[in-house]
A = this chain, B = another copy of it.
Amino acid sequence: MKAIALAAAALAAWTGAALAQEKPVTTAEIIAASAPSEWRPLDLSHTLVMTFGEGRTAVIELAPAFAPKTTANILALARAGYFDGLAIVRVQDNYVTQWGDPEEGDRARSLGAAAATLAPEWSRPRDRAIPFAPLPDRDGWALETGHSGGFPAARDRRDMWLTHCYGMVGVARGEAPDSGNGSGLYVVIGHSPRQLDRNITLAGRVVSGMEHLASLPRGTGALGFYERAEQRTPISSVRVAADLPDGGPAGRLELLRTDSASFAALTEARRNRRDAWYKRPAGHIDVCNVLLPARPRP
């Protein structure tokens, strides 16, 4: 069966040709050759487990280094049970899936201990205490891009910020910069809308379950909102992983460290594909094309 380029096919091609490779070449080979110490567990204290629809689960790693107040607010909302029984209210093709309170306008729902408004956390001053592994590749949106603690990020001479790549989770807001508090969240499901960078607070990334959030029916109302209540996907619960036995599904995952040698090798392998399917390596990678591998813990 014809399959356009991907690691597994490339791996099959290599091994099928019985070539003994000294050095791992493909994504799959590099991951297979990585050291256990290059992987990290999730910090369960700032990870969410969302269950929705018919038994779907998404694991979301929050980013306190970039959005400390927003992270704390979202954790408080989750612990107050705020999201339980709410719904996915909007899916706009090639843009975002968004969830929260469908009756938000009524302001009837208690926020528990969480704040109702939050100052923007759209970027933060550069700080050497916060890791940043730069990519050498040029970017049209920022002076420099790279990765920070597992998240795609960018920086200029003064500030650093998370970037709107596929799977990144942000905080819906109205026109006022402080009108987002984490009670409404969205995840990017299309080509990265980098124009949102530094216009809205990014608070984390979906590390597992993205395929369920991206494949929901698109809403037919303005901005992709669902027009009828029964079209929404109900959210059963959003829990802090640390509050679940062994972290629930979040406790069973590990992520490749973005400051590891295997991560650098993986990124280079995707910048210049060396498997037989590719005939012209790109010599370039976009920060939103970089693979951020997660896998079950051994």
| A interface, CB within 8 angstroms of B | 1-6, 8-9, 13, 89-96, 98, 100, 104-105, 122, 137-141, 165-167, 170, 172-175, 177, 179-180, 184, 186, 190-200, 210-211, 214-218, 222-223, 225, 270, 273, 276-282, 284-286, 288-289
Contact = CB atoms under 8 A, between A and B. Distances in A.
A195 B282 contact: yes
A273 to B, nearest CB: 6
A1 B198 CA distance: 21
Contacts of A198: 280
Contacts of A167: 94
Nearest to A174: B2
Given A2-B104, A2-B172, A282-B141, A223 B8 contact: yes
Nearest to A197: B282
Count of chain copies: 2
A131 to B, nearest CB: 23
A4 B170 contact: yes
A279 B210 CA distance: 29
A121 to B, nearest CB: 13
A206 B146 CA distance: 32
A218 B189 CA distance: 13
Contacts of A138: 138, 140
A182 B215 CA distance: 26
B4 A96 contact: yes
A11 to B, nearest CB: 10
Among A196, A199, A284, max chain B CB count under 10 A is at A199
A239 to B, nearest CB: 23
Residue in A122, A216, A278 whose Cβ sees the most chain B Cβ within 10 Å: A278
Given A6-B223, A279-B199, A284-B141, A105 B1 contact: yes
Given A2-B100, A195-B289, A211-B218, 17 more contacts: A1-B104, A2-B174, A3-B174, A4-B96, A4-B172, A4-B186, A9-B223, A94-B167, A94-B214, A122-B280, A138-B138, A140-B140, A191-B191, A195-B281, A195-B285, A214-B215, A215-B218
23 contacts: A1-B104, A3-B90, A3-B174, A3-B225, A4-B96, A4-B172, A4-B186, A5-B195, A5-B196, A6-B92, A6-B95, A93-B211, A122-B280, A138-B138, A138-B140, A141-B286, A166-B191, A190-B191, A190-B214, A191-B288, A195-B270, A198-B280, A199-B278
